[in-house]
Chains A and B, each alone.
Chain A
Amino acid sequence: ETGVTQSPTHLIKTRGQQVTLRCSSQSGHNTVSWYQQALGQGPQFIFQYYREEENGRGNFPPRFSGLQFPNYSSELNVNALELDDSALYLCASSSDSYGYTFGSGTRLTVV
């Protein structure tokens, strides 16, 4: 097992730009979730994908979108970046209801 890997680890973008974050799920995990963690806060659920279909969405606007690929890797896309989008973005994968394996995250800074 290689765990969950995310790329890039850090990113600086300008307000109004678009960004794509990537996640490689743990081997055998068919469910991937994305979370946003602002400084000093707990992670907030963005959305989840199960076998390439969106399977639930949190309270985030449509400019947050995602994809899951046949190999269960995933992307998070954010359009029209705002300053408040600055956060740690976490990807988590699972194969059943028992716990989730999180990646180390991508630190996004919007200036």
Chain B
Amino acid sequence: QKEVEQDPGPLSVPEGAIVSLNCTYSNSAFQYFMWYRQYSRKGPELLMYTYSSGNKEDGRFTAQVDKSSKYISLFIRDSQPSDSATYLCAMRPLGGSEKLVFGKGTKLTVNP
């Protein structure tokens, strides 16, 4: 079993839709949870960062962490064509080498 599983999609939605992206994980030591956005031919860009369980909101983006279920989500409200990219979940334990473990990524296309 992989440490982090991410439904690879791809996902295609109309402009203005609410998008839900999800990851599950198996390592209960993970404490830091991140979502990255990666445009084609670019490096990943940090979108959201959460520590432990709970919700965090930043504009149109909301990140949720449920440690009891080992499940994290990213919601995008009022999606825009500029949101079209690959979204990667990443996580790491407290301490150690700060190695990030990534999901496979979900490619999102928002159609005008």
Contacts and interface: CB of A to CB of B under 8 A. Distances in A.
B108 interface: no
Interface string B88-105: 101000001111111111
Contacts of B32: 97
A42 B102 contact: yes
Interface residues of B, number: 25
A25 to B, nearest CB: 13
B45 interface: yes
B53 to A, nearest CB: 18
A101 interface: yes
B42 A104 contact: yes
Given A40-B104, A99-B34, A104-B41, A45 B99 contact: yes
B6 interface: yes
B46 interface: yes
Contacts of B99: 33, 45, 48, 56, 58
B43 A105 contact: yes
A104 B32 CA distance: 23
Contacts of A31: 98
Contacts of A55: 97-98
B43 A41 contact: no
B44 A43 contact: yes
A90 B44 contact: yes
Contact of B98 (A41, A57, A97, A102): A97
Contacts of A92: 43, 100
